[in-house]
Amino acid sequence: MKVIYATSEAYPFAQSGGLADVAYALPKALRRRLIGCRVIMPLYDTIAEEYRHQMTFLTNITVPVAWRRQYCGIFEAKIDGVIYYFIDNQYYFKRQGLYGFYDDAERFAFFSRAVLEVLPHIDFCPDIIHCNDWQTALIPVYLNAFYRHNAFFAGIHTVMTVHNIQYQGKYGYELLSDVIGLPSEEARIVDYDHCVNFLKGGLQQADRITTVSPTYAKEILDPYYAYGLDGILRELSGKLRGIVNGIDTDVYDPANDPSIAAPYTADNLEGKTVNKEALQKELGLPVRPDVPIIGMVSRMVRHKGFDLVKCVFEEMLRADLQFVILGSGEWEFETFFHDMASKHSDKVALRLGFVPQLAHRIYAGADLFLMPSQSEPCGLAQMVALRYGTIPIVRQTGGLADTITDSGDGKGNGFTFGSYNAHDMENAVWRALAGYADKEGFAILQRRAMKEDNSWNRSASEYIRLYKEILGK
């Protein structure tokens, strides 16, 4: 079986969010299970020179973009056993950043068409093209509209994965002829709710639709979560499936993590105490092994529940605890938590921005990890926290509901709350602090959390089953 994984970003080349982690880890896990999986992505100007030096130029072609043709260079590199192809066009991709440009629709229409055009030139005819988010959603559309008559493409099937349905690629009708270039009789495929919608076209034309957790697959059938696409998704629900993402257990491994102060395992938690002390020293907090540390590593936006945290933060600070927050986002929350860190320097440490090595040290040094998201398609941080024995406190939504169960019954792996309410969240925090106070019971909970399997091997098995189902194997 051969799979080409089409993505707008992939670690370590270009990253703006969790998609890049998935695009790195899933193909690697599929390769380990003897699935021929290769990745294709744009050649951004921001890709580091150390990776550019590993690339080999294969050839160049021209790619149709509506009524014109554009240059397309094809480069190849091999990282961790996986072959990556890079689509080069400096007009579209020689920029400081990945997204947010006035012509993003044209840039990713070009990329989607290029994915199909380059396949005959790379000696790799896939059984499956696995597309991700709106930036690649035109691939199934173009495949069915322009390429099915060609014997090379006749047996190719498509999977469309939605990582966050909020981002759909919505544009005005003027793009139909000048950018997208579909025949007039096919224009209805991307027409939805009085505009052009890239993602809708991909959902409709793909053989299967997946999203990144079973609960999120159900949630996006509801108007509250679907950002206007609930109608089309209900029509297509027969081909929709939720598969929880995994984490790279080589990158996130407390027994072999060069970013943390001391290694530890589920069977020997002594190193976690060392990491807690090191984190307190690094962030200027009083070094106290007895005080619980609650960590947060997140974008500081309402969507991630920071309005709930802000609402009851000063109440929570009346308890004997410490908060460690790493992230950046909306001015309202950056300012509030900066003020709290200044006012309560013995209890609150804030670092604005994102420092991956510090994130690892927070996972290793904190006792509890707070994720009160309004919605969370999958979430990786809660699974990383489990891996490091840092017990999550989460709202039951999306992937959080699929990966974290309340430990009140003595069997769960975290602390949960249901409604999007600040005081419900606060109550979950109080329960977590009570659990922390029971040292023997908390150590049992930590060991149970660390022994859970949230690796990509499990998720890869589900994707392989899906691929075989599509191919009738």
Cis peptide before 258 (omega within 30 of 0): no
Range 220-233 average pLDDT: 95
What pLDDT is attached to residue 17? Answer: 80
Q: Where are the alpha helices (DSSP H) in 42-137?
A: 49-52, 90-93, 104-118
85: burial class by Cβ within 10 Å (0-12, 13-18, 19+)? buried
What is the structure's pLDDT at 67?
Answer: 92
SS3 225: helix
CB under 8 Å to 75, separation ≥6 — which residues?
A: 43, 55, 56, 57, 58, 85, 86, 88
Contact 391, 448 (CB under 8 A): no
**What integer best gives the mean pLDDT of the chain?**
96
- Dist CA 352 CA 328 (whole Å): 5
Strands 293-297 and 128-132: unpaired
List the strands of the sheet with 208-211, edge to edge: 56-65, 68-79, 82-88, 36-42, 2-6, 128-132, 157-162, 208-211, 240-242
Residue for token digits 């759909």?
168
pLDDT > 70: percent of the chain: 100
Express each pLDDT in 56-88 by its tens digit. Answer: 999 999 999 999 999 999 999 999 999 999 999
Considering Cα of 211, then 217, then 221, then 226, what sign does the dihedral take?
A: negative
Q: Return the pLDDT at 43.
A: 98
- Which among 237, 236, 157, 141 has a CA at the least distance from the CA of 189? 141
Q: Return the SS3 of 365.
A: helix
Say if CB 118 and CB 61 are below 8 A apart: yes
Q: What was the pLDDT predicted at 185?
A: 87
Using an 8 Å Cβ cutoff, are 355 and 326 in contact?
yes
Residues 369-389 pLDDT 10s: 999 999 999 999 999 999 999
Annotate 87-104 with three-state secondary structure. Answer: EECHHHHCCCCCCCCCCH
Q: What does each C-alpha distance from 18 to 260, 285, 304, 313 come to in angstroms?
A: 22, 30, 14, 27
**Strand pairing class (128-132; 170-171):** unpaired
Question: Other CB atoms closer than 10 Å to residue 90's CB: what's the count?
Answer: 11
Give the pLDDT score at 356.
Answer: 86
- Residue 124: which pLDDT band, with cuts at 50, 70 and 90? very high
The pLDDT of residue 354 is above 90: no
> What is the band of 95 on the pLDDT scale with cuts at 50, 70, 90?
very high
pLDDT tens digits for range 154-209? 999 999 999 999 999 999 999 998 999 998 888 999 999 999 999 999 999 999 99
Distance, CA of 214 to CA of 190 (rounded, Å): 26
What gap in Å lies between CA 80 and CA 391, rounded to an integer? 31
pLDDT tops 80 at residue 473: no
pTM for this model (two decimals): 0.91
pLDDT (0 to 100) of residue 364: 98
d(CA 235, CA 405): 31
Coil/strand/helix, residue 115: helix
- Phi and psi at 257, nearest 5°, equal -110, 110
DSSP 145: I
Q: How far is CA 76 from the centre of its chain?
A: 24
DSSP letter, residue 439: H
Residue by residue, DSSP assigns 258-276 as TTSSS--BTTB-HHHHHHH
Tell me: pLDDT of 215 over 90: yes
Dihedral over Cα of 5, 245, 9, 240: its sign: positive
Element (H, E) at 12: none
Q: Report the DSSP beta bridge partners of residue 6.
A: 40, 131
List 42's β-bridge partners, or say none.
Answer: 87
Q: Is the confidence at residue 131, as pLDDT, over 90?
A: yes
pLDDT one-digit tens code per residue, 267-313: 999 999 999 999 999 999 999 999 999 999 999 999 999 999 999 99
What is d(CA 403, CA 266) in angstroms, rounded to the nearest whole number?
Answer: 19
Pairing of strands 208-211, 240-242: parallel
> Which tokens go with 304?
């991630």
Beta bridge partners of 131: 6, 160
Tokens representing residue 354 in the block? 């994102």
Residue 246 and residue 384: Cα distance in Å, rounded?
9
